[in-house]
Amino acid sequence: MNAIDQTLALAWRSLVQVRRNPWELGDYSIQPILFLVLFLFVFGGAIAGSPENYLAFVLPGVIVMNMLFVTVYVGHGLNTDLTRGVFDRFRALPIPRWAPLAGRILADVVKQVLCIALLLIVGFLLGFRLETSWAHLLAMVALVLSFAVAFSWVMVLVGVLARDPEHVQLFGFTALFPITFVSSAFVPVDTMPGWLQGFVQANPVSLLADAARGLMNADGPALEPALWSLAWALGIALVFAPLSVYALNRRLARG
């Protein structure tokens, strides 16, 4: 129980830092709304005939894309703590080595909830209408947050290995752009070249976007891509969580 309390305290520490840097909220609020509006009104007519027809397709994709981009800030914040010597002070405390990592991820989940809520509100204001049920919508949110928790461990590892916070963002966004845009998040798979479709269909971003779309729109499969998304999330967590803790121990041991 002490380890859980310590993790919650460290998560709260990450959240209250926003009070000293309120502009940080712009990355979690203004940026996703801009992405949604730009994709909707720039590409909506070309892809779906009109922005109104495209909204139901693109809103789940933007939610998934933004979820992945927000995880970069987990690694960025962690690297900032490491380079500023905050973890040297953590070492003197009787807490598990994984507690600061888990606390950072837990704080990120709260920010993810804010992002998803804002995108849904803006989506409803733009004309989106839920075709399934509120239970399905909550299931979509839970699925996206589950994947966010798992994928955050990837960015934790990047944050531990990177030399400084700028390199975390450089590597993080550079790696995320291809897997995000070479997916079904924004365009149907059948519009892509045949040689590319196999990769896109196996891409976990596509599976998560398809699951979110099915849970929100009821016009596509939801159960199978959701199960595959959870399988991907479990696999990512099982691989990258131990690697992150091991890399952190090595970095702290080197001083």
For the stretch 227-244, pLDDT in tens is 999 999 999 999 999 999
What 3-state DSSP class applies to 165?
helix
pLDDT at 228: 97
pLDDT at 19: 67
What DSSP character marks residue 133?
-
* CB burial readout 227-246, b (16+ within 10 A) else e: ebbbebbeebbeebbebbbe
Task: Report the alpha-carbon angle 159-32-216, nearest 5.
Answer: 110
Residue 34 has pLDDT above 80, yes or no: yes
Question: Angle, nearest 10°, between helix axes 51-83 and 99-126?
Answer: 160
Q: What is the DSSP string of 173-199?
A: HHHHHHHHHSSSSSS-GGGS-HHHHHH
Q: Residue range 57-86: average pLDDT?
A: 88
The lowest-confidence range among 70-79, 90-99, 119-128, 200-209 is 90-99
pLDDT at 254: 73
pLDDT at 163: 86
pLDDT over 90 percentage in the chain = 51
Residue 108 has pLDDT above 80, yes or no: yes
| pTM, full prediction | 0.90
What 3-state DSSP class applies to 94?
coil
What 3-state DSSP class applies to 247?
helix
Mean pLDDT of the chain: 87
What CA–CA distance (Å, rounded) separates 65 from 162? 23
Residue 249 has pLDDT above 80, yes or no: yes
Residue type present at position 94? P
Q: Which of 16, 68, 60 is nearest to 40 (CA)?
A: 60
Range among 95-99, 140-144, 160-164 rated most confident: 140-144
Residue 92 has pLDDT above 70, yes or no: no
